Structure 1
Amino acid sequence: MDPNRAGPVVLDTLSKACSQQADVLKPAEQQLHHWETQPGFYSILATIFCKHEIDVNVRWLAALYCKNGVERYWRKTAPNAMSEEEKSAIRKQLLSNFNEPVPQVALQVAVLVAKVARVDCPRNWPELIPTMLEAVRCDDQLIQERALLVLHHVTKTLASRRLPSDKKVFESLTHEVFGFILNLWNSNLAHFLQLASVHDEGMSTALDRCSLVLKILRKQIGYGFRDLETHPDSVSFLRSLFPHLEAMLDCRRSLWGHHAIVDKCEHVIVTQTKVLLDILEMHASSFVSFLKTTLEFVVRYNFTEKGLLFERFAVNCFNVMKAILFSDTYKLSKNTQIESSSAVSTEAQKILTEFFTFDTLSEICRRLVTQYFLLTTDDLTTWDADPEDFCQDEGGDSYKYSLRPCTEVLFLTIFKAFRLSLTPVLLELVRFIQAPCDPEDFATVLKKDAVYNAIGLAAFDLFDEIDFDQWYTTSLLQELQVKDVNYRIVRKRVIWLVGQWVGVKMSVSLRPSLYEAIISLLDKQEDLAVRLEAAACLKTTIDDFEFKTDQLLPYVEPLFHLLFELLKEVRECDTKMHVLHVFSFVIERMGREIRPYTAALVEYLPLLWQESSHHNMLRCSILTTLIHLVQSFGSACTNFYDFLIPVIELSTDITQDPHVYLMEDGLDLWLITLHYSPTVTENLLKLFTNIPPVLDLGTENLRVCLKLIEAYLLLCPQEFMQLYSSILAVSLSSMITNLQTDGQLLVLRVIELVFKVFPTEGPQVFSCFLPAMWKNLVDDEDSTPVISLYLCLFARILLQHRDFLWSFLEKTASDTSKSFNQLLSLLLDTWLDKIDSVTQPDRRKVIAMAVASLLTTNSSTMLERFPTIINLCVEVLHDVCRPGDLQSQIDMVFFSSLVITDDEIVEVESREELEHDKRKRMLARKDPVHTVSLKDYVMSQLKQCQQAHGQAVFGRLMDQVDPDILSQLQQFSV
């Protein structure tokens, strides 16, 4: 684009893009989108937003488009990357625009500068830092403010880079400017405090400058120094941090009523506490001298009568204390090798020991439990208005931002660190509130809830201190029976408490009474939050190692009914997911015993599936539930094929958007359905068309897809191969060349299964793959697991379809300079040389049988290798016979017969097993490995060899065999 000619056109288009009229706006946006890849477009945008006389909306939009363009096209490797000339022009414009009068445009420009700096600074943009620092030191307040804004965003960007050279750049920037920025912080904060003391109107602007400067200091002190102690400015900043925090907290109190200023004041205070958190994370060793001051500050403002000042401040203070107690730097280590580190740990432990006296610990523990654990008015209002939202579990990193999980994490950290001191304090709190209280005494109800919360959180640490069985039977069960509306708080907390202790220290004999209590709490007349907690307790109970099916069985019917009613009643997807998880656990643990009680659930799931069309995570939970239902119903799962098959089809269809979320669970459901299905249906067979596209996506789902193919081969081999044999051969043959060893083995096992199921047709189906397999087999000198499987596949072809192998060798001979006999010799030598790489006894037996089958051929190849053939057969005979009992004449693998006898068939059929396992067993009954005795087969082949060649020739052949091998062979012939 020519700036002189295209500039006015771009400006006019931007003006139209700011229009409120759709017929003007949309064409303008389309034109701007068309220009995004045009050379010169972004330099024109930079010229536009730097001209302050242009309308502010147009300039803001120009800066926004330019920022997005830099994100996409600035890097040299990007498609349609900007030219160096255009980038140079944009950089010059940016350096000349530190006097932007409009804050909104200034913010966009600052972010734009940071994005360019991330790629170009300092190598391709050495002018940025000197120009920026000069502007920061300027006496003009507007220029300085805009430069500080740019410096803030550049600082954030450069601090995030982790390469050593990038760290050096940021450290250099920090050392050059930190002292000046610190002076700005001190002077601006003093100015704000002075204005705040008289409630001057300029407070807001002054506070904004304080906040901006503090954000720069936070990143620079965190990432710009290797050792804080060696830099006086950084130490000075840390020393002044606590007086400044106290001054800001006092100022916040005095400004009560100025809501906007108070909010900004709180923002600055929170940023100051974030500085402490950053230093503890990145410079813990340098912070030891400030530990006592920090802990005193946290205790003074959070565990005294000053109480909870505001939530975000308390959260950060609690996280500061947790970080100190949790820090590995401050813990004494038996394996400390670095002397300085050991000195830091020793000093830190001394400070912590002196500070955390029993009185201090006791006060912190009591206030955490009786003040911060208490349900607030807002909590109770949420409970009444939206109990499902109230019951949402805050997990993950919520302790970093939310007061309740933060308080609980701090309590656990302190309790684990000082368990011996705090256990008596906690037990004393329990004694005061252990007995049922008056439901009208709301304060006591809330305190009981808080103390029980603490006992549940510390369950593992209180194992030896509390007789939970006695407490449960004498007190907790009684409290669950108090049905007053106020007492719902206690009922919910008690059943949660039991869930915390059930896997820690609760006798199995008490489980029936717990199931009865859960049934009572799941009743529709009960509070919804209590019902949800009871469902969660049930899940925890049945997920325990000591769970016993027979104990739950008498209660399954009412539990299932009540859970189903709860599932229908709740509205939030997350809540439905939690209830479905409980269903899944019950179904999984009860197995087939659950069948009589699932009719209503099976009828409801299709409706729930339809309702959750926009909630894929809930659909994942439905898929999980279906998996457990299919496992429980076994072969009767065909009763809900009408729902199962469409669900599987949608979940595994890559043309449908939900497949991104549902694919993994959908494939698992598909596989388990095939494993349990007694027969195949047309729709179930058609599902296979989803597999090839899934395989084309990559190897993420390769294993389960191949298992699905195996399941189809066993379930409906004729129908499956008739429809999909060509697709299967092409997919597997093309795929195997791009896989690592593990993936190749998975594919080859599928091909091996095809050869087992179709001894004659199987090799023909994969005839396109055999040349590559042959080449790898004869060319590879190493003995890898893949080569071992190649050996077995060719052995099966020889054993089960010799004519096909002969024709293959003849065709290969015509394509090469070698004869048929040479290729046969090469194949036989490969078997003989690499048999030791085959470790599975059944595969060794296949190779031995294939090699032994050549004894009856009138071939010079066999005659020349007769002794080696006999040697291999005897070696494998030892592998598949019972060690030390050659007279048994039974092919064994680890004392388990390879030859399946009638007695074993009866024994297996008397046990319950998957339909899939039955099909595998039926296939094994047709496999030569399991139907032919290797000893009998070898002896029969030797006898036929003797008849074919005559006694004289046969005698000379036997004379070539090692006498020791002959002796062993004779033992097998007895």
Structure 2
Amino acid sequence: MDPNIYALVLDTLNRATSQDAEVLKPAEKKLQEWEIEPGFYSVLLDVLSNHTINVNVRWLAVMCFKNGVDRYWRRNAPHAVSEQEKEKLRLGLLTPNVLSEPVAQIATQQAVLIAKIARLDCPMHWPNLVPDLLGALKAPQPLVQHRSLLIFHHLVKALASKRLAGDRRTFQDLTNTVYSFILSLWHENTELFLCHIQEGATTELITEHLEKALLCLRILRKLTVFGFKKAHESQDAVAFLNVVFDRAKTSLECRKLLKGRGIYPLELCEKFIIHLTKVALGVLGVHPFSYVPLIRPSLEFAIYYCFTEQGMSFVYERFNIQCLNIVKGILQCVEFKPPKGDQVKEPLTLQAHQMKMEVLDTATVCHMCRVLVARYFLLAADDLALWDAEPESFATDEAGESWKYSLRPCTEAVFMELFHEFRDTLAPELVRLLAGLQHAPSDVSDLDAILKKDAIYNAVGLAAFDLYDEVDFDEWFTNVLSQELKIKDDNYRIIRRRVCQLIGQWCGVRASPSLRPALYGALLPPLARRGEDAAVKLAAAAALRATIDDFNFDVDQFTPFAPHILAALYELLVESEECDTKMHVLHVVSYVMERCGAAAGRGGGADPLFACLPQLWTHARDHDMLRAAALAASVNLLKAIGECPPNIRPWILNVVNDSTKLSEPAHVYLLEDALDLWLAVLETSHVADAATLQLAGNLCPILEQTSEHLRIIVYIMQAYTLLCPEEFLLGAGGKCMLLLEDMLGDMRTEGILTVLKMAEVCISVSFPERNTFLGVKVIWPILLRVIHWLDLDDLPLVLSVELCLMSRVILLSTDLFYKAVEEAAATMPEYESDPTKVLDKILHVWTEKMNLVTQVERWKVAGLGLAALLTTQNAVVLSRAPALLLNLAEVLNDVMKTDECGAHQDSLVCAGGSRPASPLEGRGGAARWGGGGGGGAGTASTPAPAGPGAASPHELRRRALAAAHPAHALDLRAVTHHQLETLKAQVGPETFDRILQSTDKETLQQIREYIPI
């Protein structure tokens, strides 16, 4: 190696460890530049393996090397490390200097580095790695053996994480090769450290063997769980598993000795014990049938240490959690539960169930239940101290999978599994505990009695579904719980909080509908009371959500309480200090609004909540998830109120603008909710102001980046199109439609349908009376693509919308339709760029496949389109006139109905204020039937509803558009009759008769039932 390069890199590494930013930044930049230079990682290897160099410099060298492996080691990576350099590096990573690294932190990073390379190269490109490491494990030097074990541990961890079938077979081969040796090494070091602890040896000696034993144990855990198809078929694995709990028992006794001496290996010993329990949990999860012989010893082990006074003297919290998770895992394991039928496919299932039931007999299960309630469910002094110091954190701490790591949720999870499995045994036991409580409220000064009652109430809440027949909740609430909520003493906050939780747990289990108003009334005081404890208020808010999130929820029962509850939630939102708490409250607000709708918006209860959102948004500038919750709440508030308050509208538009700008980093968290809010604003707007129109400019960048939000963006586009068609389509809307057309080629069916339906909306707001046809111009590229795509093999759903789209264009202007056919034909060499051949193809597909259109409105519009083409004096159309008439007859049969007087009428023409559109109205040609959104022929007048629950402005616009839809605005019989009469006048009676003679007689007979021809 060039000494100058080595010196330059070393100097740069030195400067990169400086505390001076002016020195540090240029050095870091230089190191980044060198990442792709050949030979750079060889220099780093020389630096990190030189023990005379400063520790910080070597640490930085190994980190740079590790980052380089992530980026440039794969063969297909840009600027990948060359194969020659890789070979040199692999050899250098197992040199004596690396295997005797004196600094533990650097040794760990070196082990991770080797494992990262091995995950990509082993065994194919690094076949000697495992043999070399096994040789190093037998070295006489303790440090070399320790570092080799450390590397081997990270190697096994990396290889075990690979999940492809070939990689799993490779790992199984590795397991078969090394398992016996690692197991013997573990036994040796475990025996040594246990003996040293009992003999009172030096800390250094204990630590040396304990660290090696722990590394061996970690390796064995991965090998046992992931290295065998069936662990019980390996004698070594069975031998290892059979001693796991014995080793744990001995280690717990040694831990007690270490704790008495107060020396360092105590923490290491605790890790060793925890990893023994992790072995059991891993095998239980991945190889349940291999775990069957361990069911009895593991249950007896867990019961002794978690449920007996003698065993509890040895344990610590993390170990308690692990043991309880083993119990939970055994109770939960599907393979240990016999099927309800008589046949048991797997004999081990029956064996496992019998073992489980033998250990968990009636007396043991009842004892476990009592200990869980009387000991583990009691709030400890630490819990009460946390409650006093941080009530909001105390109330929102337990969530997600906290049962894996936290004792209280863990014990509750075990209790529920136990109760579900042994319901018949435990239900009477828990009812006796509940009956043993005083029916009158406890003495507020007796904290022990309050804590005991709280624990029992907690158990009754957790087991609510299994106590359905044993507890009459209506009576219990009316006579006891509702009274306890009224006691305002500070100690009694414990019971008030628990009663709120009980209401939330039982309301969906056994609370009669008539009790609901009483529940709402009971939850309101603790939620609204000034000076009430924050944890109680949050419990009341959570219970409130639970009462609303129920099948039997009745909005009318809740409505009288809605303004007061919203006001209380507003106060709680303002009082809360933690962002997580505010987020919880906002979720409750959103849920109330979502379930109750306009009923929750009455009485002005939502107004203060809306008014406080801008301040909350500012407060949450560094908390994106809280801002997302604020956006979601704004959506539901807006929908409930039915309009955007003028004083809040500028803030909402500004927030939507910022949250939908892809240049803002926070858009990753806020975009989805911001799009929902954007749509809600448009749907509640009567007119579009300048700020709303300007906001539309954010749509195109989102579409350009991803199609993930396509559906909601198209809904926003539709809302804009109905609100301000000309302004939107001439600006951002037109650009968006071009993007959508470009994306069509890569879309699945659902996306294609979404875009085509948007195109339909654009056509609906064309303005034929002004001869502008704005909507058709905007969707012109999409129309050309539809003509290209139209095929006999199209999916019925797609074909249905395609035919409807073309029909809508024809009904606006046949000239536009023929122009589109000409333009499309120019780029269709397979049809010799001949418009007549393309038109013939269109009509062939249309008439052959039109019966696949199942939606009656589209079916009728497709028929109207065919009728409109009849009078265009086109030879291709006339040549297919019999097929067109056949389809028209079928549409008439489906659409026409007979009134009370026996007369035929179009069943789809809007009744009550609407009328059939006269074919004589409008300009000549098919344009006289334009279904424009701007009024015109056949548009039904829709009175604006008033009062609470009225339709939104968007809904009114949508209804007006639907009323103007050709399917509802045009009488098919009148249109068909007029077209046939016009055709007869155009071609003359003789030609017209020839067309009729070439048409099937049955078809003519069907048409004559409705039209005299």
TM-score range, shorter chain: over 0.9
Alpha-carbon distance in 2 for matches of 1:150, 1:620: 44
Give matches, 1:192-271, under 5 Å: 192-201=193-202, 202-257=205-260, 258-271=262-275
Alpha-carbon distance in 2 for matches of 1:908, 1:26: 66
Q: Residue type matched to 1:238 in 2?
A: L
Q: CA deviation at 1:72?
A: 1.6
Alpha-carbon distance in 2 for matches of 1:479, 1:131: 71
Distance 1:206 1:916, change over 3 A: same
Q: Secondary structure at the match of 1:486?
A: coil
Alpha-carbon distance in 2 for matches of 1:519, 1:375: 26
- Higher mean C-alpha deviation, range 512-521 or range 287-296: 512-521
Query: Are positions 1:625 and 2:633 aligned together?
Result: yes
Q: CA deviation at 1:781?
A: 5.5
- Counterpart in 2 of 1:786? 798
- Counterpart in 1 of 2:408? 404
Q: Residue type matched to 1:347 in 2?
A: Q
Pairwise CA RMSD of aligned residues?
A: 2.6
Identity %: 41
* Equivalent pair of 2:825/2:835 in contact (CA under 8 Å): yes
Instruction: Decide which of 269, 273, 278 is 2:277's aligned counterpart.
Output: 273
Q: CA deviation at 1:282?
A: 2.1
Q: CA deviation at 1:769?
A: 4.2
Q: CA deviation at 1:919?
A: 1.1
- Counterpart in 1 of 2:930? none
Q: Secondary structure at the match of 2:905?
A: coil
* Equivalent pair of 1:887/1:972 in contact (CA under 8 Å): no
Give matches, 1:316-715, under 5 Å: 316-333=322-339, 342-435=346-439, 436-522=441-527, 523-593=529-599, 594-595=601-602, 596-635=604-643, 637-638=645-646, 640-715=648-723
Q: Deviations over 1:289-333 (max 9, x none)?
A: 222111111111110113362110010000111111111221213
Alpha-carbon distance in 2 for matches of 1:814, 1:69: 54
* Equivalent pair of 2:100/2:147 in contact (CA under 8 Å): yes
Q: CA deviation at 1:711?
A: 1.0
Q: CA deviation at 1:68?
A: 1.7
Q: Provide the TM-score with structure 1 as the length reference.
A: 0.95
- Counterpart in 2 of 1:132? 133
- Higher mean C-alpha deviation, range 838-847 or range 475-484: 838-847
Distance 1:586 1:171, change over 3 A: closer
- Counterpart in 2 of 1:7? 6
* Equivalent pair of 2:910/2:963 in contact (CA under 8 Å): no
Q: CA deviation at 1:913?
A: 2.1
Distance 1:686 1:527, change over 3 A: same
Q: Deviations over 1:608-660 (max 9, x none)?
A: 11111111111111111111111122245555312221121112111111111
Query: Are positions 1:877 and 2:892 aligned together?
Result: yes
- Counterpart in 1 of 2:728? 720
Q: Deviations over 1:29-72 (max 9, x none)?
A: 22222211111000111122222333333223222221221122
Q: Deviations over 1:86-145 (max 9, x none)?
A: 111111111213222332222221111111111111110111111100111122222211
Instruction: Decide which of 870, 874, 882 is 1:855's aligned counterpart.
Output: 870
- Counterpart in 2 of 1:773? 786
Distance 1:707 1:518, change over 3 A: same
Alpha-carbon distance in 2 for matches of 1:829, 1:765: 27
Q: Residue type matched to 1:453 in 2?
A: N
Alpha-carbon distance in 2 for matches of 1:871, 1:225: 69
Alpha-carbon distance in 2 for matches of 1:729, 1:231: 64
* Equivalent pair of 1:891/1:934 in contact (CA under 8 Å): yes
* Equivalent pair of 1:886/1:971 in contact (CA under 8 Å): no
Q: Residue type matched to 1:573 in 2?
A: C
* Equivalent pair of 1:155/1:216 in contact (CA under 8 Å): yes
Q: CA deviation at 1:749?
A: 1.2
Alpha-carbon distance in 2 for matches of 1:858, 1:47: 87
Alpha-carbon distance in 2 for matches of 1:453, 1:161: 43
Q: CA deviation at 1:573?
A: 0.9
Alpha-carbon distance in 2 for matches of 1:200, 1:384: 45
* Equivalent pair of 1:882/1:895 in contact (CA under 8 Å): no
* Equivalent pair of 2:784/2:821 in contact (CA under 8 Å): no
Q: Residue type matched to 1:57 in 2?
A: N
Q: Secondary structure at the match of 1:856?
A: coil
* Equivalent pair of 2:909/2:971 in contact (CA under 8 Å): no
Q: CA deviation at 1:896?
A: 8.9
Distance 1:802 1:112, change over 3 A: same
Distance 1:850 1:314, change over 3 A: same
Q: Deviations over 1:842-869 (max 9, x none)?
A: 2222232232233334444344333322
* Equivalent pair of 1:3/1:44 in contact (CA under 8 Å): no
- Counterpart in 2 of 1:746? 754
Alpha-carbon distance in 2 for matches of 1:311, 1:566: 34
Q: Residue type matched to 1:571 in 2?
A: E
Q: CA deviation at 1:176?
A: 2.9
Q: Residue type matched to 2:41 in 1?
A: Y
Alpha-carbon distance in 2 for matches of 1:787, 1:230: 59
Alpha-carbon distance in 2 for matches of 1:906, 1:492: 51
Alpha-carbon distance in 1 for matches of 2:297, 2:764: 76
Distance 1:99 1:824, change over 3 A: closer
Alpha-carbon distance in 2 for matches of 1:252, 1:781: 74
- Counterpart in 1 of 2:951? 913
- Higher mean C-alpha deviation, range 798-807 or range 348-357: 798-807
- Higher mean C-alpha deviation, range 136-145 or range 453-462: 136-145
Unaligned 5+ residue runs, structure 1?
Answer: none
* Equivalent pair of 1:891/1:899 in contact (CA under 8 Å): no
Q: CA deviation at 1:687?
A: 1.0
Give matches, 1:77-96, under 5 Å: 77-96=76-95
Q: Secondary structure at the match of 1:882?
A: strand
Alpha-carbon distance in 2 for matches of 1:845, 1:819: 29
Q: Secondary structure at the match of 1:972?
A: coil
Instruction: Decide which of 755, 776, 781 is 1:763's aligned counterpart.
Output: 776
Give matches, 1:819-898, under 5 Å: 822-882=837-897, 887-892=902-907
Q: Residue type matched to 1:572 in 2?
A: E
Distance 1:830 1:204, change over 3 A: closer
- Counterpart in 2 of 1:73? 72
Q: Residue type matched to 1:846 in 2?
A: V
- Higher mean C-alpha deviation, range 207-216 or range 761-770: 761-770
Alpha-carbon distance in 2 for matches of 1:437, 1:376: 19
- Higher mean C-alpha deviation, range 306-315 or range 680-689: 306-315
- Counterpart in 2 of 1:49? 48
Alpha-carbon distance in 1 for matches of 2:801, 2:563: 51
Alpha-carbon distance in 1 for matches of 2:825, 2:144: 85
Q: Residue type matched to 1:295 in 2?
A: L
- Counterpart in 1 of 2:927? none
Distance 1:590 1:424, change over 3 A: same
Q: Residue type matched to 1:148 in 2?
A: L
Q: CA deviation at 1:371?
A: 0.5
Q: Residue type matched to 2:806 in 1?
A: F
Alpha-carbon distance in 2 for matches of 1:56, 1:612: 41
Q: Residue type matched to 1:115 in 2?
A: K
Alpha-carbon distance in 1 for matches of 2:588, 2:824: 61
- Higher mean C-alpha deviation, range 903-912 or range 661-670: 903-912
Alpha-carbon distance in 2 for matches of 1:233, 1:857: 88
- Counterpart in 1 of 2:924? none
Distance 1:174 1:775, change over 3 A: closer
Q: Provide the TM-score with structure 2 as the length reference.
A: 0.91
* Equivalent pair of 1:59/1:105 in contact (CA under 8 Å): yes
* Equivalent pair of 2:473/2:511 in contact (CA under 8 Å): yes
